Amino acid sequence: MRGYHRYSWFLILLVVATALVGAVLADDPPATEAQRAYEIKETMLCPVCDGQNVLESNAPVAAAIRSQIDDLVDQGHTNDEIRAWMARQYGSDINANPPRSGLGALVWILPVLAGVVGSGLLVLTFRKWRSGRRIEPSAEDIEVVRALREKK
């Protein structure tokens, strides 16, 4: 029965990890085209600003990129097509989010994996601590406690 209990914890951790990875990699579509354009602008970095996205930047190039994104969304291009087009025009550093496939997927998966492994280690550590409490006191321990109680 004890071995089964260990496997159940592993199964729970595996299900949680799978759900977290699925949630990270899932791409919920926005409700409107304006929201989709907003989300794209939010994750595009201004090529002349230091770490600022094109949505917040006041630079002329950021205004041009915002306009281009609006035009591409209106033309029916997908988010991936728009991001690829922007990367060709302004360089791959324009995309604030790392890619969700290939080597870039590690940026999304490693934190989840570290959380699952950390949770598993915590469970194992707490079990070890708890199992240490089941040690039976020796006759000498019982005698010491009895002597201390009688002093009161």
Q: How confident is the model at residue 1 (pLDDT cuts 50, 70, 90)?
A: very low
Total number of domains constituting the chain: 2
Distances (CA, A) of 125 to 2, 16, 130: 16, 19, 9
Reported confidence tier of residue 106, pLDDT bands at 50, 70, 90: confident
Cα–Cα distance for residue pair 63/47, rounded to 1 Å: 12
Q: Decide which of 99, 116, 131 is a domain's last residue.
A: 99
Is 127 or 61 the better-scoring residue by pLDDT?
61
Q: Which residue range(s) make up the domain with 90?
A: 29-99
Query: Do residue 36 and residue 95 come from a single domain?
Result: yes
Based on the fold, state whether residues 50 and 76 are members of the same structural domain: yes
Q: Which pair of structure tokens corresponds to residue 3?
A: 């071995």
- Check whether residue 94 and residue 33 sit in a common domain: yes
22, 47: one domain: no
Same domain assignment for residues 144 and 131:
yes
**Same structural domain for residues 72 and 16?**
no
| pLDDT single digits (tens) 47-60 | 888 888 898 888 99
95 and 152 part of one domain: no
Give yes or no: residues 90 and 43 share one domain: yes
How many residues would you count in the chain?
152
Residue 12 pLDDT > 70:
yes
Instruction: Let me know whether 69 and 119 are in one domain.
Output: no
44 and 22 within one domain: no
CA dist., res. 109 & res. 23, Å (int) = 11
The whole-number average pLDDT for the span 64-81 is 92
What's the chain's average pLDDT? 81
Read off the CATH number of the domain in which 84 is found: 1.10.8.640
Statement to judge: residues 52 and 72 lie in one domain? yes
Residues 6+ apart with CB under 8 A from 10: 120
Residue where a domain terminates, one of 62, 81, 99: 99
